[in-house]
Structure 1
Amino acid sequence: MTDYVSTTPGLFPLPDWAKEDLSDLKGHQKGDLIGGDEDGEIAAAYEEARGEVIDRQREAGIDRIAEGQLRWDDMLAHPLAVHDAVETRGIVRYYDNNNFYREPVVSGDLDFSGDVASELEAASDRVEEGLQAVLPGPYSLADLATDEHYGDEAEFLAAIADFLAGEAEAFPDHETLFLLEPSLVESPPEDGEDERASEAIDEVASATDSEVVVQPYWGALEEKVYAHLLDADVDAVGFDFVSDREDNVYNLQEYGAPGSISLGLADGQNTLVEEPETIRERVEWIDDQLPVSAFETVYLTTNTETFYLPYAKFEAKLEALGEAAELAEVKAA
């Protein structure tokens, strides 16, 4: 029987009180981009905010609890932006939206950092089961960064994959790892590079014993990119059905998928909150095309990170996803 699991891709907005407090403590707003080092008061504020978003997920009935990535001011670039071998330079537009990050320029060997592991360790103290880790996928992280050390694109991607694998190996026990790969859609790899991207994802996925979900978004993958992605040893691939229904259905019908699937059905950027019944109906529509019921696990999630949403809307999206998964389970039974 198919297991319907509610979750998110992480990267949450800060609670309103935390935005105000951290703004006062740091002297600027969250989006103004800071480094990874925080003093005691700032660290305490982030810890309190982490506890709040964990509690909100639990209250909403979310099955896989993310740490929230509240410190990730540079969004997916964060694991590099706080690394000692990386220099952060000018402000760069984050894909095609109005958010920005500091350009991470790699100037030395990407050895172990442990920054993300320490966040997940703090979350694991609060989450007894269903903990979900989040990392940028290696292709997207390489795409967002600039290499001034390795000198070769293939070698740089391999170094990024090795770095992320090392980070994942240090994670505490977790049930799921979401690898976020929007660059596979936004800046699709060319011939040869698509195979290397799949190999890089495979290396990171092999570093953990958890279920691994590769979540591209902001559209559908090109056929060749998708076909190569399926060569990676991952448990599920994600599909952004908010941005593109037809091409994602085509890829699934033409090439299949791993044993599980992740469906981006709620809009992570739009303040309009979907009704739980609407999300369930979207699952049924996809089920008519595939069917969804052939998969071992179906993850129900927002199509993108929810960083962009007002906090109250984020909370409402959590409620909708939690209830939608329950409705889907009842329907399947």
Structure 2
Amino acid sequence: MTDLIATTPGLYPLPDWAKDELSELKGHQKGDLISGDEGPEIVDAYQRARNDVVDAQTDAGLDRVVEGQLRWDDMLAHPLTVHDNVETGGIVRYYDNNNFYRDPQVQDELTASGDVAAELESVDAGPQQAVLPGPYSLSDLATDEHYGDEAEFLDAIADYLAGEIDAFPSHETLFLLEPSLVENAPDDDTQELASEAIDRVADATDADVVVHTYWGAIPEKTYAYLMDADVDAIGFDFVTDADESLYNINEYGTKNQIAMGVVDGQNTLVESPETIRDRADWVLENAHEEFDQAYLTANTELFYLPVNKFEDKLQALGDAATLAEVDA
């Protein structure tokens, strides 16, 4: 019997009160906010907002609690945009969505900063799930002005992320978010390197590692290489392209755990627990695999949503996992 685990990929919308308070505070603070040089009032506001989203997950009955990544104004690029050896460039488009981030331009050696670890340490709830950009997506979103070679740059990003993980507090699960595997898939010369980079990052933790992909299905060859990475689960976007994602699973196999993106992280329509359960059951019934664990999750990050819809979707995910346990 498959154990269903309700969770999310993180990157939450700021609570409404926090948007107003932080906008005013940042407008008055002198200093380089981009590099993480935040005054005590801003730090306190983020902590109170973090407590709010942690409480929302706990109240919804989620099985894994994420920190929420509320400081990640630049989305997946954030861990680099706050790095001392990275210059934050102008605003560029975030994949094919109407969202934007600052271009992180790596100008010197990437060393571990401890920024994400500090966020995780401020969470007093669990079991905790850490969230990071995957090495391929982070290298795809960044500009290399130091290493000078695509393979060397990808290696450096992987080593940097592994160094960040070394400082993490205890965590049950790590979600590596890799939408670039779908949106800008590696070419023939990079596919194996991308898989090896993911493998190296995963090796830095004893937690279960989920490589979560979204905005479509992973191209076949890229997926075949991803299967070589020693991770515990691959995440699939069953909202955007369910049939092709299922094809990959049945054609090339998958891990003995799976993450199922069965809630739309970009649409304000709130799925019922029964709808979420139906989508999950469709995967479990049609996949030619038996899974020890299946993560019920949103297909994408949730920062696109209004706060009330975001909270409703958390509740629906928690309720869906409970329904599954009752019916199993």
Output the TM-score relative to the length of structure 1: 0.96
Q: Who is 1:239 aligned against?
A: 236
Would you say 1:296 and 2:285 are equivalent positions? no
Q: Give the distance between the partners of 1:291 and 1:197, measured in 2 at CA.
A: 26
Name the SS for the 1:214 alignment partner: strand
Cα distance between partner residues in 1 of 2:323 and 2:189: 43
CA-CA distance at 1:27 after TM superposition = 2.2
What code does the residue aligned with 1:207 have? A
Residue segments in structure 2 that go unaligned for 5+ positions in a row? none
Asked if structure 1 preserves the Cα contact closer than 8 Å seen for 2:35 and 2:83, the reply is no
1:323 aligns with 2:319: yes
Letter in 1 for 2:19: K
Q: What amino acid sits opposite 1:5 in the alignment?
A: I
- Correspondence for 1:306: 302
Asked if residue 37 in structure 1 is aligned to residue 37 in structure 2, the reply is yes
Structure-2 residue corresponding to 1:101:
101
| Alignment pair present for 1:265 and 2:262 | yes
Deviation at 1:34, TM superposition (A): 4.0
1:99 and 1:20 map into 2 onto residues whose CA distance is 20
TM-score by length of structure 2 reads 0.97
- Find the residue that maps to 1:172 and give its secondary structure: coil
Task: State the secondary structure of the residue aligned to 1:27.
Answer: helix
**In structure 2, what is the equivalent of residue 130 of structure 1?**
127
| Residue equivalent to 2:51 | 51
Match for residue 173 of structure 2 among 168, 171, 176: 176
Equivalent of 2:210 in 208, 213, 223? 213
Deviation at 1:287, TM superposition (A): 2.1
What is the SS of the residue equivalent to 1:70? coil
Find the residue that maps to 2:294 and give its secondary structure.
strand
1:195 aligns with 2:175: no
> Equivalent residue for 2:80?
80
Structure 2 residue corresponding to 1:150, chosen from 147, 166, 171: 147
For structure 1, the residue ranges without an aligned partner over 5 or more in a row are none
Equivalent in the alignment of 1:186: 183
Q: How many angstroms apart in 1 are the aligned matches of 2:205 and 2:302?
A: 25
Contact 2:249–2:288, Cα closer than 8 Å, also in 1: no
Q: Distance in 1 between matches of 2:211 and 2:259?
A: 9
Identity of aligned residues (%): 67
* Residues 56-85 of structure 1 deviation map (CA, whole Å, 9 limit, x = unaligned): 100000000000000000100000000000
CA deviation after TM superposition for structure 1 residue 291, in Å: 5.2
SS at match of 1:231: coil
Q: Whole-Å Cα distance in 1 between the matches of residues 34 and 106 of structure 2?
A: 17
Let me know the Cα RMSD of the aligned residues. 1.1
Q: Is the 1:34–1:73 Cα contact (8 Å) retained in structure 2?
A: no
2:77 match: secondary structure: helix
CA distance in 2, matches of 1:115, 1:171: 10
Residue 280 in 1 paired to residue 264 in 2?
Answer: no
Query: What's the CA shift for 1:331?
Result: 2.2
Decide whether the 8 Å contact of 2:6 with 2:317 is kept in 1.
yes
Amino acid at match of 2:130: A
Matched length: 324
What is the letter of the counterpart of residue 263 of structure 1?
M
Residue in 2 that maps onto 1:160:
157
Question: Where does residue 136 of structure 2 map in the other structure?
Answer: 139
